[in-house]
Structure 1
Amino acid sequence: MKTPEAVLADIRRRLDNTWADHLAGQPAWPHRFPLGTDSKSVLEAEWQDTYQPLRRTWADWARKHPATTLHTEPKRVYSTTQDLPVGLTITTIDAAARLAGEDWPTRLERATHRLTTLRQRHPDLVNPSKVLRAVDRYTETDFGLLLTVADWFSRNDATGPTPRQVPIPGVHAKWLKSHRSLLLTLTGRETLGLLPEHPPRIHFTYLDPDHRAAGGRVHDSATVDDAFAPAYPPQVVVISENKDTAIHFPPIPGGIAVEGDGFGGKTAAAFPWLTSAPHLYYWGDIDAHGYEILNGWRADGVPVTSILMDPDTYETYEPFGTNTDKNNQPLRPGVPKALPCLTPDERAVYERVLDAAHTGHRRIEQERIPLAVAHAAVKARQS
């Protein structure tokens, strides 16, 4: 039987996973949390020290929290029948927030007001829960600026200027770049219409040992729509999420290492010499974001095969993992996205690192796996 402290942790997890969807119209509360059941032999063996005190604890706890319902069932203990707690229903999301404590009540109140504003300003908003989550930690100034900019793009044709030329006070190119997805969601557009500040490009490193021994350049770049051919048609392309990993990848005959740098595959897909390479690999972090990026590369038209993103690699290097993201924020469980371009093995690890019941690390940084291991994985794929 769970303690109140353990159930409070369950409440906080469910609240974190469902609050935005619930407010946006996908009810997740009330919700009943199971308290667990134990066999008759266990109940009798630990009745005096554990179960009888815990039963009283639960009864007292439920009386102090009127927005909860404690469910009991009769259980046979020795020669008597005892009503034991088996479940707890939290009746409303507001009750869940009060129990979760911290700033949850304030967050829900703020989100409710913002949802009303969003629906008034953008009645055709398709995914309000996505926007609610995105603006959860915004200040009122930042939230107001987002709405102002979305209104401007809704009323104006932005075809022609660059992000730096948008005539809105308080807005700059980096702000537009970091808020682009939200603005597209609010305006219902596929693009903002702005010109890029510079043409998209890729950076890569030549890995062929003969080319480098002959004095050929090591590092190069290619710009979309610019006439360009690499020093040699690559036979092997390794796209690496981490810049340093790409730059320092070991020599491979006919090889090129591309800096993925966290972006999607649309830029790389513009280079036929890259996408038509006989051996095309992607190597990224083992975390939810890494698999979402991998899926994006394939969806964008870059038919990569992943290396070192499989269950065996996760098991081997999990002890060297972390539970914080690149910004040192804690990684939390979540709901897996569809990601139709993942293989079954990739999907298995993706779901595992998002599972609320998972006790291992939720992220293995690419750099924790030696380059020699990655080099061997590429060579093994070619044999």
Structure 2
Amino acid sequence: MTMLSVAEARTKARTRLSSSMASWAAEATSDVRVEIALKPPTEKQVLSDQAAAADWAGSWRAVEGKAGDASRLEIDWEDRTWARVGRQRVPIRLRLLTPDEVAGFVGGDAARDWRKLRDRAQLVRERFRAESNDTASIGDEDADDTEDGNSLAAAIRSQSKRILSLSDAAFVTVIDVVDWLCTRPLGSLRPRQLPIRGVDSKWFETHRSLVTALLGGIGHADAVTVLDAEPRLRLRILDSALIDTHLDDITAPISQLSRLPLSPRVVFVFENLESVLAMPEWHGAVAVHGSGYAVDGVARLQWIGDARIIYWGDLDSHGFAILNRLRSHLPEVESVLMDEATLVAHQDLWVPEPKPSTGTFAHLTGTEARALERLHAEGGVRLEQERIPWETALNRLRTAAEVETSGHLGEGTGRGVGTEHRLGEGLDDDR
């Protein structure tokens, strides 16, 4: 029979509750319309198994009879007159008109999650409504219709899973932190200095996205700056003549590194830290750890613009995504060891790439794009840069840097690079 059982209807309602509770809680929705067709039997089906049909109808009468004020629901019944069965009253539709009705019918963990999320969202709105109103400069009666009200709802909706996952004590602490940050001048305070019990740098690492979203939702995105330690880069100075210091391995905020009186001829940017640390002394050169997708910070180094920039990353989709990202800031970046020939020459060192990047990379050269296509064609493989023998890598790096050196010193005719690099002119067909 096709009749929808109570358990099956609960499964449908649970699916709707799970997919919609974030929006319902964020927007304080009181009216919904969840209708579930109960698929009553035909006369033929009733005749084939009258006991099953009677039990099915009885199960829905029981549900309707148990529904109290806290879990109201509506069941539409319809009289059906059949020649061989006679007149029968059958349930045809279940109707749930509020989120609480949906949760009351579903029951279990899903219902508890809904009530917790509903109550916590309401607490957030009540706690920060005044802040949203002050920002918008309007009266309380219009608060939920303002852009700030919508922003707060969006923040609750996007962070619903985090809000739901917190213990009661942790949730209260998050609210206290947001309240403290949006109502006090912060100056140069670091997270460790905030006078909130139990809150320190590690706490912010765990709860940063939720605090940030709520502050933005109430119009105090600027307060988030207290959570931001300035990104750091690791830099190795490969030529001691470049700067008057005994330090050759420096990790510091980007703004401080940017102020160093450096004028390198070549800047090597490597995705892998071990490659940076293994670099030998190198005339006129520095090596920077790009730190994966944090490579954007390299472009903020003031002294990098006049240098030749050579990037070497993993031969996988993410390595090309990072290269593409860096080149969007610094168009003249060249790549080394990121070509099809290098890939094929080290086939025995390939491993599967667990989660390949699926983006579109507009800033790759033709050589790089072909290597990326080969990666996909081989079933999504990767060649990690650390697996390439160091002498092989060092020779390629030397070759790439030597091609440029003469032109950079004014002894050559201009920039020229190997086939795996981006050229200033003469290789448009390889773009």
Q: Where does residue 72 of structure 1 map in the other structure?
A: 77
The letter of the residue matching 1:148 is D
The letter of the residue matching 1:373 is G
Q: Give the conservation status (yes or no) of the 8 Å contact 2:178–2:211.
A: yes
Deviation at 1:63, TM superposition (A): 1.8
Deviation at 1:373, TM superposition (A): 0.5
Structure 2: which 5+ runs fail to align? 133-148, 235-268, 273-287, 340-352, 365-374, 383-429
**Equivalent residue runs for 1:1-383 within 5 Å:** 1-23=3-25, 24-27=27-30, 29=32, 31-36=34-39, 41=44, 43-44=45-46, 46-48=48-50, 50-66=52-68, 67-75=72-80, 77-79=82-84, 80-104=86-110, 106-123=112-129, 124=132, 125=149, 126-128=151-153, 129-130=156-157, 131-158=159-186, 160-166=188-194, 168-187=196-215, 188-191=219-222, 192-194=224-226, 195-199=228-232, 204=271, 221=290, 222=295, 223-224=297-298, 225-226=300-301, 227=304, 230-231=309-310, 238-240=316-318, 256=320, 258=322, 270-272=329-331, 285=355, 303=362, 372-374=378-380
Q: Where does residue 353 of structure 1 map in the other structure?
A: none
Change (3 A) 1:153 1:304: farther
Alignment size in residue pairs: 269
Change (3 A) 1:104 1:26: same
The letter of the residue matching 2:54 is Q
The letter of the residue matching 1:50 is A
Deviation digits for residues 80-128 of structure 1 (CA, Å, limit 9, x no counterpart)? 3433222112354334333333345554444444334322321125333
Deviation digits for residues 288-325 of structure 1 (CA, Å, limit 9, x no counterpart)? xx88xx6xxx8xxx7589xxxxxxxxxxxxxxxxxxxx
Q: Measure, in 2, the Cα distance between the counterparts of 1:371 and 1:175.
A: 44
Q: Give the conservation status (yes or no) of the 8 Å contact 1:34–1:88.
A: yes
Q: Measure, in 2, the Cα distance between the counterparts of 1:51 and 1:268.
A: 68
Q: Give the conservation status (yes or no) of the 8 Å contact 2:35–2:93.
A: yes
Q: Where does residue 386 of structure 2 map in the other structure?
A: none
TM-score (norm 1): 0.54
Deviation at 1:50, TM superposition (A): 3.4
CA RMSD, 1 decimal = 4.7
Q: Measure, in 2, the Cα distance between the counterparts of 1:33 and 1:101.
A: 17
The letter of the residue matching 1:117 is L
Q: Where does residue 341 of structure 1 map in the other structure?
A: none
Q: Measure, in 2, the Cα distance between the counterparts of 1:177 and 1:64.
A: 47
Deviation at 1:232, TM superposition (A): 5.9
Deviation at 1:152, TM superposition (A): 2.5
- Structure (1 or 2) with the larger CA radius of gyration: 2
Q: Measure, in 2, the Cα distance between the counterparts of 1:267 and 1:120.
A: 44
The letter of the residue matching 1:7 is A
The letter of the residue matching 1:13 is T
Q: Measure, in 2, the Cα distance between the counterparts of 1:230 and 1:40.
A: 79
Q: Give the conservation status (yes or no) of the 8 Å contact 2:9–2:36.
A: yes
Q: Measure, in 1, the Cα distance between the counterparts of 2:92 and 2:334.
A: 57
Q: Measure, in 1, the Cα distance between the counterparts of 2:9 and 2:103.
A: 13
TM-score (norm 2): 0.49
Q: Measure, in 2, the Cα distance between the counterparts of 1:233 and 1:203.
A: 5
Change (3 A) 1:258 1:232: closer
Deviation at 1:57, TM superposition (A): 2.3
Q: Measure, in 1, the Cα distance between the counterparts of 2:326 and 2:178.
A: 26
Deviation digits for residues 261-299 of structure 1 (CA, Å, limit 9, x no counterpart)? xxxx987854445799999xxx9849xxx88xx6xxx8x
Matched residue of 1:29: which SS?
Answer: coil
Q: Where does residue 253 of structure 1 map in the other structure?
A: none
Deviation at 1:7, TM superposition (A): 0.8
The letter of the residue matching 1:198 is P
Q: Give the conservation status (yes or no) of the 8 Å contact 1:71–1:87.
A: yes
Percent sequence identity over matched residues? 18
Deviation at 1:69, TM superposition (A): 1.9
Q: Measure, in 2, the Cα distance between the counterparts of 1:85 and 1:198.
A: 63
Structure 1: which 5+ runs fail to align? 206-218, 241-245, 247-255, 260-264, 306-368, 377-381
Deviation at 1:21, TM superposition (A): 2.7
Which structure: greater helix fraction?
Answer: 2
Q: Measure, in 1, the Cα distance between the counterparts of 2:196 and 2:334.
A: 40
Deviation digits for residues 17-51 of structure 1 (CA, Å, limit 9, x no counterpart)? 2234324323453532222356665x256442533
Matched residue of 1:97: which SS?
Answer: helix
Q: Give the conservation status (yes or no) of the 8 Å contact 2:73–2:96.
A: yes
